[in-house]
Amino acid sequence: MSKLEFKKTVLAQAKERQQEIINDFKRRIQELNSTDNAVEEDQQDHAQQSLDATNDHLINGLADQLNFVVEEMNVLNKMHVAEELHQTVAMGSIVKTDKHTFFPSVSIEKFEANGQELFGVSSKSPIYQAMQGKKAGDSFEYNKTKYTISEVY
C-alpha cells in the first residue's frame, strides 16, 4: 500500500471512529430523554423532579459534547489527505515516532488503520504544537516525554 493510499485509509478509519462517538452520544441522549418521558407529569414527586433536573443537566452536557464531535467530523470531512505527502508535520500528516504514530487532524483516541495503531491529535493540542513543522529525524517533547520522528508523510 502506498503512503497516499495509507493516508486515505487512515482518514476513512478516523471518520468511522468519529461517527461511532457521535452515535454513542446520540444514543445516550436518547436514553436519558426516554427516562424523562417515562413518567407522566401528574405522577412526578419531588424526588422524580430532582432526577429530571439532573437528567436535563446531563442531556445538556452531552449535547454540548455531541456538537463538539460533530464539528470535529466536519473538519475530517474537509480534509484531503491523499493529495500530497508532507515533508514536515502539518494537519493531515502521518507522523511516525519511536513511541506512537500520530494523525494530526482532530482529537481521536487510539484507533487502527490497516493494522497500525494511531492517535488523532487536534491542531489545538499541546502535543501538536510541539511537533508542528518538524521533519523526520527531529525530536520534540511533550509531558516530559521525548519523541523522535522517524517518518512524516
Rounded to whole angstroms, how far apart are CA atoms 16 and 30? 21
User: Do 103 and 88 fall into the same domain?
Assistant: yes
Q: What is the mean pLDDT of the chain?
A: 90
Cell of 107: 482529537
Q: What percent of the chain has pLDDT over 70?
A: 88
Q: Of the residues 47, 78, 109, which one is the last residue of a structural domain?
A: 78
Q: Is 69 helix (H, G, I), strand (E, B) or coil?
A: helix
42 pLDDT more than 50: no
pTM over 0.75: yes
Rounded to whole angstroms, how far apart are CA atoms 58 and 49? 14
Count: domains in the chain: 2
Rounded to whole angstroms, how far apart are CA atoms 105 and 95? 11
- 31: Cα within 13 Å, side-chain hemisphere: 8
Kindly report, residue by residue over 90-135, the tens digit of the pLDDT.
Answer: 999 999 999 999 999 999 989 999 999 999 999 999 999 999 999 9
Task: Identify the CA nearest to 94 among candidates 27, 20, 11, 1.
Answer: 11
Domain that holds residue 105: 81-152
